[in-house]
Amino acid sequence: MTWAGLQITLLTGLATGLFLTLIAIGLSIVFGLQGVINFAHGTFYMLGAYSLVMLQSHVPYVGIAIVATIIIGGIGILFYGIFLINLKGRPHLDYLLTTFGAALIITEIVRWFAGSAPQFAQAPEFLSGVVQLGAIVFPRFYLVMIVVCAILMAIGWYVFQRTLLGARVRATVEDGEMAEAVGINALILNLSIFAAGAAVAGLAGVLAGPVFTIYPDMDLDIIVLVFAVVIFGGLGSLVGTLIGGIVIGMIQAFGTVLFNSTVAQIGVFILMAVTVIIRPQGLLGKRHF
Amino acid sequence: MATWLRNDEVRDLGILGLGFIGAACFVEILGLLGIDRSYTYHIAARIAIMALFGIAFNIAFGYCGILSFGHALLYGGGGYIVGILSVKMGVNNMLVTLPMAAIGGAALGAMLGLVTMRNVGMAVVLITFAVAHSVWLILQINPLGLTNGEGGLSGIGRHMSWSGGGANLWTTERSYYWLCAGIILGTCIALRLCVASRIGLAMRAVRDEPTRADTIGLNVKAVRALAFAISGAAAGIAGGLGAMLSGVVTPEDAHWLLSGDVLLFAVLGGAATFLGPALGACVVVLAEIYLGEITRSWPLLLGLIYVVVIRFAPGGVVGAYEDWRRGRKRDSKRLDTIRDDRVQR
């Protein structure tokens, strides 16, 4: 591998990793808060990508991004109210199965409206093309992805560590019963964090639209990778999720360049298995199981 | 060992046998009404095979409290063993290939058991999923040229003779259905005796009170690995029978969606009983074939089944029926991975 090739692969890995982190963060925090293993989290990502397909001829890209984020946040609230609110106190398995069923239902509804055929979305004019970075050329859109993900991550970190909402979330992750005892409204907190996670995953879908093929089962394909990210980094940990995302993004990028994408995925899942065997809580997570 | 068959064992196996006979009668009646018998027998055989897979899964899940999300690996492993022996090596005799599938399934199950030895609960779900998904990906890239990649192996025969010649009795769907019924009933007798024996007692002890089981001298890890291996052997047989039924085995036979299906069989039917998963398999496979034809959106119905069953009948159909019969409320004490704490003999 040449020096330029190495640089390109590193940047691709970083873009993939930050992008996976963006989807994974909602999943991770929601698990930390209430023990919900949300199989349908990839569905919000898929909805984001499809909103790009549906709206791209009518609305400018940035507009779609804003609208989709808000709408998918609302869908997240609905989702929580319909599927999860009644399962309070049930074992993890019940959440896993219910959200899996919910993912199948939503995917099928999307299939009714948009059809099964793979679709493609265009990157907007000002984001397409390539950039000259020293000796290498790199797609402009990947750079935008890196920047947007980094900004969102910084906002997430600020909210988490420096605001009252973040303090409440951290308290609930640490000890849910105690947090409720001191007057934190668990329902409103859970609902808002769930909606925020869904909205961010939807935004990731809008970002991914121009890069990947869009098809109804894309949620199941991404969710297994996202699971690998949060399992490796540690469920409920923000920094762990970031590390997990970047490590897995790098494995994807280098595995694809050196071998092929299937070998890269095998590497990801073997890493996931080894992580859980040796350290079930993940790199930086708290022990949940 | 006082009596080797107690009442409830006779009852379970009797229901299973009557189920096979009843299904065959139903198929014949449909045949008299002009519906193609070979197609309906094919479906009946598929249901029977999925029922065996469900029962096999429940040996680990319901009886030993191991929630595996990689059981499709064991089913697909059995199928691929039969397929490779038949297509690549020319060994068509099912007296050889089926036992090999059982051994292979047991070995794969024991491997999953060893890999998950140090973990419990959701960690086991994640590890088994990751291992099975890796194997599924490896099947796609076709190492050693044995598995033919995405297309899978086709042209798997159903023979049962040492010489290779002579009339082949098992090519018709009706005869193959009865063969499947016999093999499945035999396997279920073995499994039923197994869960009623001291091994089964040890499994339930490990499920309900792992710490106490350890204290009284049971080797908890070994019991878990054994449950995995027994479950894997039966799942391997189911996979082998399935491969011979359709004549093809593809990577989809080892995909994690199948692991999800078999979990649904157990949850829908009721994991606290021996036959619950078989009932769940009947309902799901029939619904998939017939409702799927009517509505053309089977995944939507499947999703609804998941959501509704977990919400309203977490003990499954059989569990809900027994609750109703005993007039008990649903909120009995439950373990993390188990639907119900009803210990069953």
Nearest CA in chain B to A87: B311
Using the 8-state DSSP alphabet, how is residue B150 labeled?
G
Distance from CA of A264 to the nearest CA of B (A): 10
Using the 8-state DSSP alphabet, how is residue A214 labeled?
B
Q: Do A286 and A236 meet the contact criterion of CB atoms below 8 Å apart?
A: yes
- Identify from B124, B265, B310 which residue to disrupt to test chain A contact, counting A C-beta atoms within 10 A and taking the largest count: B310
- Identify from A92, A269, A275 which residue to disrupt to test chain B contact, counting B C-beta atoms within 10 A and taking the largest count: A269
Angle B104-B110-B113 from CA coordinates, rounded to 5°: 145
What is the Cα B222 distance to its own chain's centre? 22
Q: Collapse the DSSP code of B153 into the 3-class scheme (helix H, G, I; strand E, B; otherwise coil) and give the result.
A: strand
- With 0-12 / 13-18 / 19 or more C-beta atoms within 10 angstroms meaning exposed / middle / buried, residue B102 is buried
Subunit contact A93:B337, Cβ cutoff 8 A: yes
Higher pLDDT, residue A166 or B3: A166
Angle B330-B211-B215 from CA coordinates, rounded to 5°: 135
Share of residues in chain B with pLDDT > 90 (%): 36
Judged against a pLDDT cut of 70, whether residue A2 lies above it is answered with yes
DSSP per-residue letters across B9-75: HHHHHHHHHHHHHHHHHHHHHHHHTT--HHHHHHHHHHHHHHHHHHHHHHIIIIIT----S-HHHHH
Q: Token pair 């899964």 is at which residue?
A: B57
Residue A42 CA to residue A198 CA, distance in Å, equals 9
Share the mean pLDDT of chain A: 87
Residue A186 is predicted with a pLDDT of: 83
Distance from CA of A104 to the nearest CA of B (A): 5
Token duo for residue A213: 């093929």
Residue A228 CA to residue A220 CA, distance in Å, equals 13
Distance from CA of B34 to the nearest CA of A (A): 34
What number is the ipTM of this complex?
Answer: 0.83
On chain B, the residues whose CB falls within 8 A of the CB of A92 are 121-122, 336
Residue B204 CA to residue B244 CA, distance in Å, equals 34
Residue A231 is predicted with a pLDDT of: 86
Of A102, A270, A276, Cβ closest to residue B123: A276
Residue B331 is predicted with a pLDDT of: 44
Subunit contact A100:B306, Cβ cutoff 8 A: yes
Q: Do A246 and A197 meet the contact criterion of CB atoms below 8 Å apart?
A: no
**Residue B297 touches partner A, C-beta closer than 8 Å:** yes
On chain A, the residues whose CB falls within 8 A of the CB of B263 are 97
Residue B193 CA to residue B181 CA, distance in Å, equals 18
Higher pLDDT, residue B280 or A186: B280
Nearest CA in chain A to B297: A108
Token duo for residue A8: 């390109």
Residue A134 is predicted with a pLDDT of: 76
On chain A, the residues whose CB falls within 8 A of the CB of B264 are 97
Residue B109 is predicted with a pLDDT of: 94
Q: Do A219 and A63 meet the contact criterion of CB atoms below 8 Å apart?
A: no
Subunit contact A105:B307, Cβ cutoff 8 A: yes
For the CA atoms of B17, B19, B21, B24, the dihedral, rounded to the nearest 10 degrees, stands at -140
Subunit contact A273:B130, Cβ cutoff 8 A: yes
Token duo for residue A155: 């906002």
- pLDDT per residue over B75-103, tens digit each? 999 999 999 998 888 777 888 889 999 99
Token duo for residue B258: 């199948």
**Of B258, B333, B338, B275, which Cα lies nearest the Cα of B69?**
B258
Please, which residues 264-283 of chain B have a Cβ atom closer than 8 Å to chain A? 264, 267
Subunit contact B306:A97, Cβ cutoff 8 A: yes
Residue B212 CA to residue B210 CA, distance in Å, equals 6
Residue A287 is predicted with a pLDDT of: 62
Mean pLDDT of B229-233: 95
On chain B, the residues whose CB falls within 8 A of the CB of A102 are 303, 306-307
**Residue B260 touches partner A, C-beta closer than 8 Å:** yes
Nearest CA in chain A to B67: A93
What is the Cα B280 distance to its own chain's centre? 11
Q: Do B77 and B254 meet the contact criterion of CB atoms below 8 Å apart?
A: yes
Judged against a pLDDT cut of 60, whether residue B181 lies above it is answered with yes
- pLDDT per residue over B99-118, tens digit each? 999 999 999 999 999 988 87
Higher pLDDT, residue B293 or B261: B261
- pLDDT per residue over B145-155, tens digit each? 788 878 888 88
Q: Which residues of B273-300 are buried (b: 16+ CB within 10 A; e: fewer)?
A: bbbbbbbbbbbbbeebeeeeeeeebbbb
Specify whether the backbone of B144 is left (phi greater than 0), alpha (psi in -120 to 50) or beta.
Answer: left
pTM score: 0.86
On chain B, the residues whose CB falls within 8 A of the CB of A265 are 137
Residue B44 CA to residue B27 CA, distance in Å, equals 8
Token duo for residue A15: 């873009």
Distance from CA of B252 to the nearest CA of A (A): 14
Residue B165 is predicted with a pLDDT of: 55
What is the Cα A184 distance to its own chain's centre? 27
Of B119, B127, B314, Cβ closest to residue A94: B314
| Contacts across the A-B interface (CB distance below 8 Å) | 111
On chain A, the residues whose CB falls within 8 A of the CB of B311 are 86-87, 98
**Residue B326 touches partner A, C-beta closer than 8 Å:** no
Residue A177 CA to residue A242 CA, distance in Å, equals 28
Judged against a pLDDT cut of 80, whether residue B325 lies above it is answered with no
Nearest CA in chain B to A264: B137
On chain B, the residues whose CB falls within 8 A of the CB of A289 are 120-123
Distances (CA, A) of B169 to B28, B158, B177, B179, B249: 19, 9, 12, 10, 22
Nearest CA in chain A to B263: A97
Judged against a pLDDT cut of 60, whether residue A288 lies above it is answered with no
Least confident interval from A176-180, B223-227, B317-321: B317-321
- pLDDT per residue over B68-77, tens digit each? 999 999 999 9
Subunit contact A273:B264, Cβ cutoff 8 A: no
B159 — phi, psi (to 5°)? -120, 155
